[in-house]
Amino acid sequence: MNIKTASFYTLGCKLNFSETSTIARDLENEGFAKVDFETGADIYVINTCSVTDQADKKCRNIVRKALKYNPKAFVIVIGCYAQLKPNEITKIEGVSLVLGAQEKFNIKNYLKNGFENQETILRNEPIKNVKTFYPGFSLGDRTRSFFKVQDGCNYFCSFCTIPLARGKSRSGSVSETVAKAKEIGRSEIKEVVLTGVNIGDFGNGTNENFHQLIQKLDSVNGISRFRISSIEPDLLNNDIINFVSHSNKFTPHFHIPLQSGSDNLLKKMRRRYDTKLYEKRIKLIKGLMPNACIGVDVIVGFPGETEDEFNKTIDFLKSLPISYLHVFTYSERANTTAPRMDNLIPMEERRKRSKQLRILSLKLKLKFYNSNIGNINNVLLETHEDDFLIGFTENYVKVKIPFKEGILNTIQKVRIDSVNSSIEAFGTIST
Ligand code: SF4
C-alpha cells in the first residue's frame, strides 16, 4: 500500500506549536505517516504567525523549501497569517490550500477528494463567526508539553491583531480540560505548560474560571509539574497566586505582561490595569514565594512614549523584584488603532530603547540566577549536551549538571553551585 506522507512547519508561539502537534496527530490517525521536512512529503502543513513584520517573507520561504524537497507537494498554509491575509498567501506560487482559524482543524476533510495540485483553494470564515474551541497539546518532546486550554481574546489592546486573527475568547469546560490533561498524563511527558492567548480568561461566558481549572489540574496523575505560560495582571488574582504558593504541582514561575511603566501609556494601549495593580501582584507573589521567577513583557517605542515615559518604565522595572524581560520593539499593525495615534517614535529610537532594556534584562537574570546559588531544587533533566545534562528548576533556572547515565527525563534534586558571566548555572545532584 502506498502510504501518504505529511510534514509540518510551525512559525510563532507555543500555541501554534500545540496546534500543529494536534493537527499532525489527527492526520496520523487518518493514515498519514509524519516525516521530516527534508524527506519530501506528499503534503506540507505550514502554520503561520502574523506577529512578525515578515510573515509574508517567511511563509514564502518555507513554501519554496517544501517545493524544493517535493515539487509536486500539496502545500497547505494555516495559522494567524492565513486568517488575516489569506489573499496574500494565495498569490504565493505553489500553495494549494489556505485555511482560516476555524477550518485549520478540519484539514482531513479537505484531503478526502485527493490532493492534486490544481488552483489554490481558500477557505476562510470571517473571524466573528469563529466560536468553536479546539483543545490540543504538543507531544514529541519527551519531557514537556504545551497544552492549549484557551483561545482568542476579547481585550482589543490598541497595538494587537491577535483578536482579529484568533477571534473571541473561548475555552473548554474544566472537566473537558482535565480529561485532556489526563491523556497527557498517560504519556511520557513530565511537565505541562498551560498555553492560550489570554489564559486567565479561561471560562469566560461560563460560570467557571481559571482558578477552578488549576485546582483540578493539580491532582492529575502522571504530570509532575505545571507552568502557567503568561497571564494578564488583571486576571492573575489573589486566589490564583495563593493557590500556586501551596500547590503540589504548579511551579513558582510567572510571566506577566507589563508593556509599559507609564500609566498614561497603559491607558493608550488599552491595557486593563495600572502600575499600582501590577506592583501589588508582584509583591504578593514574592511575599508568598520569595524564590519565584517572574518574567515581564515590555513594549518599547509605542506612539507617544516620550523619553520621560520610557525612563519611567526603566525606573519601575528596576524597582520590582523581577527575573527577566521579554522586550518587544513596537511596530505598526494594520487594522489596529495605535498607528493612528500622535507622536510616532522613530524606528532608530525604538531600537535604541529596546537595546537598553535587553541589557537590563540580562542584569536582572544574572541577579536572579545568583540569588539561587546554594539552593537545592527539583530539576527536570530534559537534554544531554556534551558532558552535561540540562534542565530547569521549578523556578525556571536553567542548570547544567555533569552527565550521568539513566537519569535523562527524570526529576532530580540539584544544588546550584555557580553561575558564570554568560549566565549559565552549574549544579550537582544533591543526595
Ligand atoms: S490581551 Fe494580549 S492578546 Fe489580548 S488584545 Fe491585548 S495584547 Fe492582544
Give the distance (Å) from ligand 1 centre to CA of residue 336. Answer: 12
Any ligand 1 atom below 6 A from CB of 157: yes
- If you average pLDDT over residues 396-422, what whole number do you get? 97
Query: How close is the Cα of 156 to the center of ligand 1, in Å?
Result: 6
Ligand 1 centroid from CA 199, angstroms: 11
pTM for this one?
Answer: 0.93
Q: Helix/strand/coil (H, E, C) string of the chain?
A: CCCCEEEEEECCCHHHHHHHHHHHHHHHHCCCEECCHHHCCCEEEEEECCCCCCHHHHHHHHHHHHHHHCCCCEEEEEEHHHHHCHHHHHCCCCEEEEECCCHHHHHHHHHCCCCCCCCCEEECCCHHHCCCCCCEECCCCCCEEEEECEECCCCCCCCCCHHHHHCCCEECCHHHHHHHHHHHHCCCCCEEEEECCCHHHCCCCCCCCHHHHHHHHCCCCCCCEEEECCCCCCCCCHHHHHHHHHCCCECCEEECCCECCCHHHHHHCCCCCCHHHHHHHHHHHHHHCCCCEEEEEEEECCCCCCHHHHHHHHHHHHHCCCCEEEEEECCCCCCCCHHHCCCCCCHHHHHHHHHHHHHHHHHHHHHHHHHCCCCEEEEEEEEEECCEEEEEECCCCEEEEECCCCCCCCEEEEEEEEECCCCCEEEEECC
Write down the residue that cell numbers 497603559 correspond to.
Answer: 266
What does pLDDT average to over the chain?
94
Phi-psi region of 413 (alpha: psi -120 to 50; beta: other; left: phi over 0): beta
Tally the C-alpha atoms within 13 A of residue 52's C-alpha that lie toward its C-beta.
Answer: 12
In this model, does residue 158 exceed pLDDT 70? Answer: yes
Average pLDDT on 409-426 reads 97
Single-letter amino acid code for the residue at 408: L
- The answer to whether the CB of 317 falls within 8 A of the CB of 298 is yes
Instruction: State whether the beta carbon of 261 lies less than 6 angstroms from ligand 1.
Output: no
Total length of the chain: 431
**Does the Cβ of 160 fall within 6 Å of ligand 1?**
yes
Q: pLDDT tens-digit profile of 3-42? A: 799 999 999 888 999 999 999 999 999 999 999 999 999 9
Cβ-in-10-Å burial (0-12, 13-18, 19+) of 228 comes to buried
The closest alpha carbon to 291, from 368, 386, 191, belongs to: 368
Measured from the Cβ of residue 31, the count of other Cβ atoms closer than 10 Å reads 10
- Radius of gyration over every alpha carbon of the chain, rounded to an integer in angstroms: 22
Ligand 1 centroid to Cα of residue 327, in Å, is 16
Q: Which tens digit of pLDDT belongs to each residue from 286-295?
A: 999 999 999 9
Single out the residue of 316, 323, 314 nearest to residue 371, CA to CA.
323
Mean pLDDT of 92-113: 89
pLDDT confidence of residue 351? 97
* Residue located nearest, by CA, to atom 6 of ligand 1: 157
Domain boundaries, the chain: 5-129, 131-251, 280-371, 376-429
Least confident range from 161-165, 291-295, 387-391: namely 161-165
pLDDT at 117 over 80: no
The 10s digit of each residue's pLDDT in 59-88 is: 889 999 999 999 999 999 999 989 988 998
**Digit-coded pLDDT (tens) for 363-379:** 999 999 999 999 999 99
Alpha carbon of 155 to ligand 1 centroid (Å): 6
Q: Do domains 131-251 and 280-371 have the same CATH topology?
A: yes
Residue whose Cα lies nearest atom 8 of ligand 1: it is 160
Q: Is the pLDDT of residue 104 over 80?
A: yes
- The ligand 1 atom at the shortest distance from the C-alpha of residue 154 is 4
pLDDT reading at 141 higher than 70: no
Cα separations in angstroms, 412 against 13, 394, 416: 29, 11, 12
The topology under which CATH files domain 131-251 is: Transcription Regulator spoIIAA (3.30.750)
User: Which residues partner with 172 through β-bridges?
Assistant: none
* pLDDT(55) > 90: no
Q: Is pLDDT of 2 > 80?
A: no
Atom 1 (ligand 1) nearest CA: 155
Residue to mutate, 162, 195, 326, ligand 1, most ligand atoms under 8 Å from C-beta: 162
- Relative to the CA of 156, which ligand 1 atom is closest? 5
CA dihedral 251, 257, 261, 262 (to 10 degrees): -150
Query: Distance between CA 315 and CA 312 in Å, rounded?
Result: 5
CATH number of the 376-429 domain: 2.40.50.140
Q: Is the CB of 266 under 6 A from ligand 1?
A: no
Tell me the CA–centroid distance for residue 104 and ligand 1, in Å: 22
Rounded to the nearest angstrom, the distance between the alpha carbon of 402 and the centre of ligand 1 is 42
- Is residue 163 in contact with ligand 1, taking CB distance under 6 Å? yes
pLDDT at position 413 is 97
Residue 116 has pLDDT above 70, yes or no: no
**Span 245-273, mean pLDDT?**
97
For residue 151, report the distance from its CA to the centre of ligand 1, in Å: 11
> How far does the centroid of ligand 1 lie from the alpha carbon of residue 162, in Å?
7
Considering Cα of 271, then 272, then 274, then 276, what sign does the dihedral take? Answer: negative
pLDDT band at 143 (very low <50, low <70, confident <90, very high): confident
**Above 90 in pLDDT, residue 417?**
yes
Mutate to test the pocket of ligand 1, among 50, 160, 255 (most ligand atoms within 8 A of CB): 160
Q: Which of 150, 155, 204, 259 to mutate for ligand 1's pocket (most ligand atoms within 8 Å of CB)?
A: 155
Regarding predicted confidence, which is higher, 334 or 262?
262
Q: Please name the fold of domain 5-129.
A: Rossmann fold (3.40.50)
Ligand 1 mean position to 56 CA, how many Å?
A: 22
CA distance 229 to 214: 13
Q: What average pLDDT score do residues 77-106 get?
A: 91
Q: Which atom of ligand 1 is nearest to the CA of 197?
A: 3
Give mean pLDDT, residues 306-327.
97
Ligand 1 centroid to Cα of residue 129, in Å, is 19
User: For 233-271, b where at least 16 C-beta lie within 10 A, e where not — what string?
Assistant: bbbbbeebbebbeebebbbbbbbbbbbbbbbebbebbeb
CA of 166, closest atom in ligand 1: 3
Confidence band of 223 (pLDDT split at 50, 70, 90): very high
pLDDT band at 298 (very low <50, low <70, confident <90, very high): very high
pLDDT at 235: 98
Read off the pLDDT of each residue in 157-184 and give the average, rounded to a whole number.
Answer: 95
The pLDDT of residue 53 is 66
Q: Report whether residue 272 contacts ligand 1, using a CB cutoff of 6 Å.
A: no
280-371 topology per CATH: Transcription Regulator spoIIAA (3.30.750)
